[in-house]
Structure 1
Amino acid sequence: MLRVGVIGTGAMGVNHIRIYHEMEGVELVGISDIDEKRVNELSRKYETEPFTDYKRLLGKDLDAISIVVPTKLHKRVCLDALEAGANVLVEKPIADTPENANIMIQAAKNAGKALMIGHIERFNPAVIKLKEIIDEGLLGKIVSISTRRVGPYNPRIRDVGVILDIGVHDIDIISYLYGLEVNNVHAIAGADIHPFEDHASIHLRFDHDLTGLVDTNWLTPHKIRNLTAVGIKGVAYLDYINQTLELHDENWIREAKVDKAEPLRNELEHFIKCVSTGEKIHPNGENGKHALEVCMAAIESYKQEKTIQL
């Protein structure tokens, strides 16, 4: 039985708590949040111990911990968790700066512990299926991947703009599907309803003249989450929300068989399995750092109105 905990009980943290509570082979030892009333209510609901000081939770000899706190706190809480001997899952983005991401990655290596980054869309069943199809060569060489992730603004997001909050998902997914890192970034963005950017168009370039395009905003009144992958043998159309995947070529329009499931549950099951067996974890700290670096380059690009090399 793996002993786990969750630090942070916001909208995402509650889902970590719920899934660990339901998961076989896992004991949810405790949860932590500075909001005493909230953490007490959730601890009663999910039959676990509440802590307002996360270091007291870390003292409970945990095998694994989910860190679901504001990004600026990721480094500090992660280092404390690794020092306490826990394997760590940190929600995206990995950190507030690439320098802090490097410190976290090195600390995990020194501790001999896993560091996983919560890029949840990698565990969307439609993305999993598309990755299989691309790797099998059914679409031929992929030359372009474009995404659209738009919707209304959530007032709880105050410390970052749309690029770091939701654009980072597709930046990571495009790199993941290509199996390559971004070489350079050119972005156009603006801030109309938010102190940081609230709409952005981000152009990514990879080796071999491969491209990615991320269109994202907080201005659209309804959520759209989709991806198009263009190959020399066909095109794939993916809907993240409905978990559907259509393949088009010159002869057929086919719908791929996607076994629908909750992406976060898939993600946490992967984390727990890797902690239990020592299997290679993904996305790891290096993957998370790359996505963060691309986001930071996109922000620099739109502010300086130029292409940024990575």
Structure 2
Amino acid sequence: MLRVGVIGTGAMGVNHIRIYHEMEDVELVGISDIDEKRVKELSDKYETEHFTDYMRLLGKDLDAVSIVVPTKLHKQVCLDALEAGTNVLVEKPIADTPENADIMIKAAKAANKALMIGHIERFNPAVIKLKEIIDEGLLGKIVSISTRRVGPYNPRIRDVGVILDIGVHDIDIISYLYGLEVNKVHAIAGADIHPFEDHASIHLRFDHDLTGLVDTNWLTPHKIRNLTAVGLEGVAYLDYINQTLELHDENWIREAKVDKAEPLRNELEYFIKCISTGEKIHSNGENGKHALEVCMAAIESYKQEKTIQL
């Protein structure tokens, strides 16, 4: 039975709390938030202790903690958790700067503790299936992956633009599916309803002339979350929301069998399994830092109107 805690009880933090509470091999030891009324209500609902000072929670001899606080606080809370001897899952993006991400990665290695980044779409069942199909070579060599992640603006997002808030998901997924890091970025973006960019088109370049394209905005009145992977022997069409995956080639249109599930539950179960078994985590600090660096390069690219080399 692993002892876990959650720091941060916002919209995403509540889901971490709910899922840990339901997991059989986990004891939800406590939760923490500076909003005393909210954290007390949630602790009553999920039958656990509550703290307004997260250091008191970290003093409870935890095996693991989810850090679900504003991005600018990720580094300090992560370092405190690692110093307390706790394995850490940090929500995306890993940090507010690549330099802070580096500090977190080095601290996790020094402490010999896991540092996992919550890139939730890696745990979407349709993405898991597509990764298997690509790695098995069923579509031949993949040469292009494009995504569309658009929808209405959420007023709670005030500290970052659309690239760091939701574009980061697809930047990470495209790298994950290729198994490669981005080496060049060119972006066009603008800010019409938000202090930061609220629409962006991001072109990613990889080795071997492979490409990625991320189209994202907060201007579309309904949510669309899809991905297209073009291979030499077929094309895959993925819907993140409905968790469906269609494969097209010159002879057939086939729907892949996807075992639908809640991506966050898959993510947290994977985190707990890796801690229990020592399995190497694929959504690790280095991956998180790379996704952040690509986002920052995309922001620099649209501001300077030039291609950025990583």
Q: Distance in 2 between matches of 1:72 and 1:129?
A: 34
**Deviation sequence 1:186-232 (CA, Å, 0-9, x none):** 00000000000000000000000000000000000000000000000
Could you say what secondary structure the match of 2:27 adopts? strand
TM-score by length of 1: 1.00
Q: Distance in 2 between matches of 1:170 and 1:25?
A: 31
Q: Distance in 1 between matches of 2:46 and 2:280?
A: 30
Give 1:282 shift.
2.0
Could you say what secondary structure the match of 2:220 adopts? strand
**Deviation sequence 1:271-290 (CA, Å, 0-9, x none):** 00011111111200000000
**Deviation sequence 1:117-147 (CA, Å, 0-9, x none):** 0000000000000000000000000000000
Number of aligned residue pairs: 310
Structure 1: runs of 5+ lacking an equivalent: none
Could you say what secondary structure the match of 1:140 adopts? coil
**Deviation sequence 1:10-62 (CA, Å, 0-9, x none):** 00000000000000110000000000000000000000000000000000000
TM-score by length of 2: 1.00
Could you say what secondary structure the match of 1:60 adopts? coil
Could you say what secondary structure the match of 2:233 adopts? coil
Structure 1 segments (4+ residues) deviating >2 Å:
none
Match status 1:98 vs 2:98: yes
Superposed CA RMSD in Å reads 0.3
Q: Distance in 2 between matches of 1:51 and 1:281?
A: 29
Q: Distance in 2 between matches of 1:296 and 1:25?
A: 38
Give 1:86 shift.
0.3
Q: Distance in 2 between matches of 1:194 and 1:282?
A: 33
Q: Distance in 2 between matches of 1:273 and 1:208?
A: 35
Could you say what secondary structure the match of 2:302 adopts? helix
Could you say what secondary structure the match of 1:251 adopts? coil
Give 1:306 shift.
0.1
Q: Distance in 2 between matches of 1:24 and 1:292?
A: 34
Q: Distance in 2 between matches of 1:92 and 1:43?
A: 24
Q: Distance in 2 between matches of 1:23 and 1:184?
A: 41
* Identical positions, percent: 94
**Deviation sequence 1:239-287 (CA, Å, 0-9, x none):** 0000000000000000000000000000000000011111111200000
Q: Distance in 2 between matches of 1:205 and 1:162?
A: 20
**Deviation sequence 1:160-195 (CA, Å, 0-9, x none):** 000000000000000000000000000000000000
Could you say what secondary structure the match of 1:95 adopts? coil
Could you say what secondary structure the match of 2:62 adopts? coil
Match status 1:43 vs 2:36: no
Q: Distance in 2 between matches of 1:208 and 1:297?
A: 20
